Amino acid sequence: MGMGNTEQQWGWPSKLLHWFTALLILIQIPLGFYADDLANSPLKLELFGWHKSFGILILMLAIMRLLWRMAGSIPTLPDASFIQRRLANLGHSLLYGLMLVLPLSGWIMSSAANRPINWFWIMQLPALTGPDKALKEIAEEVHEVSVILLLVVLGVHIGAALWHHFKLRDTVLKRMWF
């Protein structure tokens, strides 16, 4: 397994970034819903501290993934029609967009609510805006709508990977595995 992507295979950095980001997202979604449902308490603050820290980590990983993807080649879809390629590109673009929008809207929400983000209790991130109730509400709405959209796009993404693997029996899933 090489470092760089080829026409047939994702390189190990792409695979590592993909699966680590996937794991964090699968932790983030239930963590965010659970913490949001809790009454105000030290536990709620602790869980949101983790949620925000993981969110910023996902933002950094998404930027790294985009830069790595732009720097190298991308494996081609085997025997894919024009429509399948367009849908795959749309799905990946939505995933990357949501991996940027969700953490940024969360960061703006925290900043506008005057609640600093203490990233893994190592460093406090700068506020992206001053306190602003209206902006906080807009960022919160963007965050909530984006989570629902992410759930839909992830469902389609995972479904498509499984469809390629079990129905089409091609290499789409295998080339992203180790």
Residue 77 contacts residue 85 (beta carbons within 8 Å): yes
Q: Which residues of the chain have pLDDT under 70?
A: 1
**Is pTM, for the whole model, over 0.85?**
yes
Instruction: Enumerate domains of the chain plus CATH numbers.
Output: 12-176 (1.20.950)
pLDDT for residue 78 = 81
> Rounded to whole angstroms, how far apart are CA atoms 35 and 49?
10
Q: Could you report the per-residue pLDDT of 139-152, keeping only the tens digit for each?
A: 999 999 999 999 99
Q: Assess contact for 105 and 57: CB atoms under 8 A.
A: no
Q: Count other C-beta atoms under 10 Å from residue 7's C-beta.
A: 8
The number of beta carbons lying within 10 Å of the beta carbon of residue 5 is: 21
The string of DSSP codes covering 159-177 is HHHHIIIIII--STTGGG-
Segments in 72-175 forming alpha helices (H): 82-112, 133-162
> What three-state secondary structure class fits 119?
strand
What pLDDT sits at residue 103?
98
Q: What is the model's pLDDT at position 77?
A: 84
Q: What's residue 94's pLDDT? A: 98
The reported pLDDT for the residue numbered 1 is: 60
The pLDDT of residue 80: 83
